[in-house]
Amino acid sequence: MPSTIEWTDETWNPVTGCTRVSPGCDHCYMFAMYPRLTAMGVRGYELDPQEVQLLPERLDAPLRWTTPRRVFVNSMSDVFHPLVPYEFVTEMFDVMCAAARRGHIFQVLTKRPGRALGWWDRNQARYGGTWPAGVWIGTSVENQKYAPRVSVLARLPAAVRFVSAEPLLGPVDLRRWLSRGDVQWVIAGGESGRAARPMDLAWARDLRDQSLETGVAFFLKQLGGRRGKRSGDEAMLDGRHWREYPKHKKEPVRAP
C-alpha cells in the first residue's frame, strides 16, 4: 500500500509480526499500529504482534504494479526474522527479481544481517551468484554498539547497501565502512511517539558530514519528538532538507 515513510513509495508485507532484538526496537511503530489494525479486522494482524505470520497470498502484489516505485519490504516485520523460513524468503526474492524488471526498487531493511548472509550463502547459485538487481539491502544501527552489523551487511554483494540510523539513540561513526564503499546510503531519524527518546542534532549532523566526506547519499527522515515527528518540511538540518538517494546501479554484482 502507499506509504507515508519518507524514503519509500510503497510498503509490501507478505510477513507480519516481529520480536525485539535491540534498543532501537523498544518503541517500534509496528507494536503501536497492531491494536488498530487488529480492531479493523485487517488480515495478518489477528495474533499477538510477536507472532510471526506468513501471508503467501500477498506475494504476487508487486507483479501487478505497472508504475515503477520504491518498495519497503516487510515494514511490519523483518524479512530475515528467524521464524521466516529461508524457502519463503526465496519466494519473496523471486517476486522481487521479476518485478524489478519493470523498474521497481525493493528496499529490504533488517536487524539480522547475519541471517541474510546465511540465506544468500545457501541460495546464491539460484541467482547465478549475482545479487538480484533492483533489491537494496540495509541494516539498522541505532548507536555505536550495533555498528558492527555493517560488517556483516558488507559481505552481501548488493549494488546498494544502506544503513538506517533510526531511531538514532547516540552518536554513530560509520567512517570505516563508508570510506571502503561498503555503504551507499545513510538514513537518519529521531524517535517519535509518547515515549520518544530525544535525538541530539549533533549526532545527525555528524552522520551527514561523514556521508558528505565520502560521497555517500544522506537522507534525514525526521527529527523525532513526543508530540510530532517533525518530518517533511520540518526535517531540516542547518537550514536545508537532506533527501538524497543512492544512484541505482544496474550492473550485476557477483558474490566474492
4 lies in some domain: no
Give residue-wise pLDDT tens across range 21-42.
999 999 998 998 998 999 999 9
107 lies in some domain: yes
The tally of domains found in the chain comes to 1
214 lies in some domain: yes
1 lies in some domain: no
Mean pLDDT of the chain: 94
Distance (Å) of CA 95 to CA 5, 54, 145, 188 = 22, 15, 34, 29
Phi and psi at 231, nearest 5°, equal -105, -170
Are 126 and 8 contacting, i.e. CB atoms less than 8 angstroms apart?
no
Q: DSSP character for 132? A: P
Q: DSSP character for 152? A: H
Confidence of residue 255 (pLDDT cuts 50, 70, 90): low
Distance (Å) of CA 211 to CA 97, 132, 142, 145, 169 = 29, 25, 16, 19, 18
Are 182 and 141 contacting, i.e. CB atoms less than 8 angstroms apart?
no
What's residue 256's pLDDT?
47
Give residue-wise pLDDT tens across range 95-145.
999 999 999 999 999 999 999 999 999 999 999 999 999 999 999 999 999
253 lies in some domain: no
* pLDDT over threshold 50, residue 146: yes
Determine which helix (DSSP H) or strand (DSSP E) holds 137, and give its type and residue range: strand 135-140
The domain of 152 spans 10-234
Least confident of 7-21, 60-74, 174-188, 224-238: 224-238
Are 187 and 221 contacting, i.e. CB atoms less than 8 angstroms apart?
yes
> Got the DSSP string for 155-192?
TS--S-EEEEE-S--S----HHHHTTT--SEEEEE--B
137 lies in some domain: yes
Q: Average pLDDT of 186-191?
A: 97
Cell 479486522 -> residue? 41
Instruction: Name residue 203's beta-bridge partners.
Output: none
Contacts of 147 (CB under 8 A, 6+ apart): 141, 172, 173, 174, 177
Contacts of 87 (CB under 8 A, 6+ apart): none
Q: Which pTM was predicted?
A: 0.94
119 lies in some domain: yes
* CATH code of the domain covering residue 135: 3.20.20
248 lies in some domain: no
**Residue 170 Cα to chain centre, angstroms:** 19
Give residue-wise pLDDT tens across range 47-105.
999 999 999 999 999 999 999 999 999 999 999 999 999 999 999 999 999 999 999 99
* Sheet with strand 105-110: strands edge to edge: 10-12, 70-73, 105-110, 135-140, 161-165, 185-189, 217-222
